[in-house]
Amino acid sequence: MPSAASQPAPAVVVSDVAHGALPGAEIGAEIGSAIGSAIGSGVGAGADAGGAVETVALPLPTPGWGAADAVAALELARPYLPVEVGSAGEVLGLLTTVVLGAGAHVVKVYPPGTDAAHLDRIHAALAGSRTATTALVPSVVTPHGVVTVAARLAGGPPVTWPEVGALLRAFHTEHADADVASWSPLSRLESQVAVLPEEDAAVLRSARDGLLSALAGVRSELGHGVIHGDVSPSNVMHDGTRAALIDLDWVAVAPREYDLASASRRFRAGELDRGTYRDFCAAYGHDVLGWEGLPLLDRIADLAGVVFRIWDCRHHGRDLDWLPAELELWGTPV
């Protein structure tokens, strides 16, 4: 067990009532205009009051949750942040979380129901990292979302895949024994299939169970260790002197090959040329293409893509008319 000194401080929980905060969609015009110009119709109200709260660490947002709610969460969190955070002047990312540029900081806001203890455990375990950018303060939980703050790295050159390979190897080495949770793939599946007809949901649940059962029997050549969980150049920032991994939400203990599999899939899909992929593997010191567990990791990634697509269609009001073909494919997942 880690010492008490290494434990993350408890997340701060803030209520609307205590501060008389306005709902996200009604926050001040000076902020709303900056955010609205960046995202257009993506601004919406908070989560449905009657909606069920997911029990997974990183739930997907309900329809309507977006940038205005994230700004409302930041405004509620400000009195509890021991660092001076500038105005939310730009939206840097908007999908399952909202990332706001705020002066020298990046504010990442997660949807309501996110497990702040999960986030704080990761950032405490990686504190002082030379290879990753961690949160500066414990998470602040508000009715509009969970707020985290990190230093902003910007202005450096674009990061290449070979640079990612070298950085990833250094990250795996630096944090080999970090106290983080075990990998829990496909944790969001249940919340998304719950809205499907039972017979359709059963197909995807069965596929998940088969894949996870098979995963338990796979031998890792690189061994189990701390992985980043979402490796790509877009999740590396460079300030001109130092590159660091960002978006640490999926850091966990897992077969290290998982972090290499994404580059191999892009190579096989034609997104990376052979030379770039070869240099990525050389920089890391390993190529997963011959590993017996790779097809299984590919299938897990494919099923995660189905889950995400279900959420994306529901979130944006699109039909699931593509789903029957997927259900037919997932009758035999392994």
Give the pLDDT confidence of 258-270 residue by residue, as tens digits. Answer: 999 999 999 999 9
**268 and 195 in one domain?**
yes
More confident residue, 55 or 23: 55
Report DSSP state, residue 135: B
Tokens matching residue 240:
């001109």
Tokens matching residue 12:
């701060």
Asked if 91 and 100 count as a contact pair (C-beta separation under 8 A), the reply is: yes
Lowest-confidence range among 34-38, 50-54, 136-140? 34-38
Asked if 126 and 248 count as a contact pair (C-beta separation under 8 A), the reply is: yes
48-63 residue pLDDT tens: 333 344 468 999 999 9
Q: Which one of 94, 125, 151 terminates a domain?
A: 151
Q: Which one of 151, 174, 201 terminates a domain?
A: 151
Q: Does the residue 315 lie in any domain?
A: yes
Q: Which residue has the tokens 């205009």?
A: 33
**196 and 131 in one domain?**
no
**141 and 182 in one domain?**
no
Which residues are within 8 A (CB) of 275 and not within 5 positions of it... i.e. 6 or more apart? none
More confident residue, 62 or 19: 62
More confident residue, 332 or 65: 65
| Statement: the pTM of the whole predicted model exceeds 0.75 | yes
First-to-last C-alpha distance (Å) of the chain = 36
The angle subtended at Cα 40 by Cα 35 and Cα 44, nearest 5°, is: 75
Task: Quote the CA–CA distance of 249 and 142 in Å, as a whole number.
Answer: 18
Tokens matching residue 183:
């990998």
**139 and 177 in one domain?**
no
Give me the domain span that covers residue 307.
Answer: 161-329
CATH number of the domain within which 208 lies: 3.90.1200.10
- CA-nearest of 169, 184, 171 to 253 is 184
Residue type, 302: D
Q: Does the residue 165 lie in any domain?
A: yes
Question: Is the pLDDT confidence value at 72 over 60?
Answer: yes
Report DSSP state, residue 150: E
**209 and 66 in one domain?**
no
Asked if 120 and 8 count as a contact pair (C-beta separation under 8 A), the reply is: yes
Question: Coil, helix or strand for 162?
Answer: helix
**176 and 103 in one domain?**
no
Tokens matching residue 150:
């990190």
Q: Does the residue 156 lie in any domain?
A: no
Task: Quote the CA–CA distance of 303 and 326 in Å, as a whole number.
Answer: 9
**178 and 146 in one domain?**
no
